């Protein structure tokens, strides 16, 4: 029986693609570069803000890797002001979270989005008190797919990895849960899709929040 569900944020709980694409393109515009498309941005996310901007710079035709620090300064400022821009929960997510809490499950969020913005987005969209832990990327904790943060969340809540399920939409999430020896559920409505999740070795794959609840109950 599972006692804890740890969720990825972008592409799993919330549709943040418009917010991310907007902030990336405002950064590129300020740097005098061409914009990227939403589909490009969809493929660039999942490994943290720095990787997102490194990939975006290359896609925008900027071969000078020395500009990444400049990009990060600009992106940090722009994204901090726009991290909730048009962000909404995916259909069925609020009901899924309510059902899980009613069944006594502990809920947590673990994202590679910077910690400050992770907390801001979660509390703006879902309110306070829904999740016992909200963890974004911090300098002293390696980002996913390193399992340290996921294991730390479980330990702080007094729950074993075997009683924990990690839920996400990307190969990074599946690797995170696997590395932490947690059961994984890949969701197909996010940024990657079924083929990527299957190749990553997801324990289960769900096509809807309702299906996630059924898998948890099993």
- Which domain covers residue 76, as residue numbers? 17-82
**Distance separating alpha carbons of residues 105 and 164, to the nearest angstrom:** 10
Residues 201 and 93 in one domain: yes
64 — pLDDT class (breaks 50, 70, 90): confident
Residues 23 and 11 in one domain: no
Residues 110 and 213 in one domain: yes
Specify the pLDDT at position 76. 92
- Which of 58, 82, 106 delimits the end of a domain? 82
Count the domains in the chain: 2
Residues 99 and 135 in one domain: yes
- Which of 25, 50, 82 delimits the end of a domain? 82
Residues 24 and 91 in one domain: no
Residues 168 and 69 in one domain: no
Residues 47 and 76 in one domain: yes
Reply yes or no on whether the pLDDT at 65 is more than 80. Answer: no
CA distances from 97 to 5, 34, 60, 78, 102 (A): 10, 39, 38, 30, 9
Q: Residue 185: helix, strand or coil by DSSP?
A: strand
Specify the pLDDT at position 107. 98
Length in residues, the chain? 218
Residues 147 and 210 in one domain: yes
CATH number (domain holding residue 60): 1.10.150.240
86 — pLDDT class (breaks 50, 70, 90): very high
Residues 207 and 196 in one domain: yes
Neighbours of 135 (CB within 10 A): 21
Specify the pLDDT at position 157. 98
Reply yes or no on whether the pLDDT at 18 is more than 80. Answer: yes
Residues 186 and 209 in one domain: yes
Residues 56 and 22 in one domain: yes
Specify the pLDDT at position 181. 98
- Which of 47, 82, 117 delimits the end of a domain? 82
């Amino acid at each position: 029986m599972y006692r804890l569900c740890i969720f990825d944020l972008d592409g799993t709980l919330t549709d943040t693609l418009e917010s991310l694409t907007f902030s990336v393109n405002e950064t590129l515009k300020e740097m005098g570069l061409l914009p990227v498309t939403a589909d490009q941005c969809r493929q660039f996310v999942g490994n943290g803000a720095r990787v997102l901007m490194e990939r975006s710079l290359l896609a925008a035709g900027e071969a000078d890797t020395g500009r990444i620090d400049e990009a990060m300064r600009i992106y940090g400022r722009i994204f901090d002001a726009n991290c909730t821009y048009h962000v909404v929960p995916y259909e069925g997510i609020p009901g899924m979270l309510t059902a899980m809490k009613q069944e006594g499950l502990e809920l947590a969020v673990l994202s590679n989005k910077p910690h400050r913005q992770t907390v801001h987005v979660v509390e703006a969209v879902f309110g306070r008190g829904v999740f016992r832990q909200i963890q974004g990327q911090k300098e002293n904790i390696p980002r996913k797919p390193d399992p340290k943060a996921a294991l730390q969340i479980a330990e702080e809540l007094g729950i074993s990895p075997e009683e924990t399920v990690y839920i996400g939409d990307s190969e990074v999430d599946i690797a995170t849960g696997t590395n932490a020896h947690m059961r994984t559920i890949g969701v197909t409505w996010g940024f990657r899709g079924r083929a990527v999740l299957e190749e990553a070795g997801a324990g289960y794959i769900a096509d809807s929040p309702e299906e996630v609840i059924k898998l948890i109950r099993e």
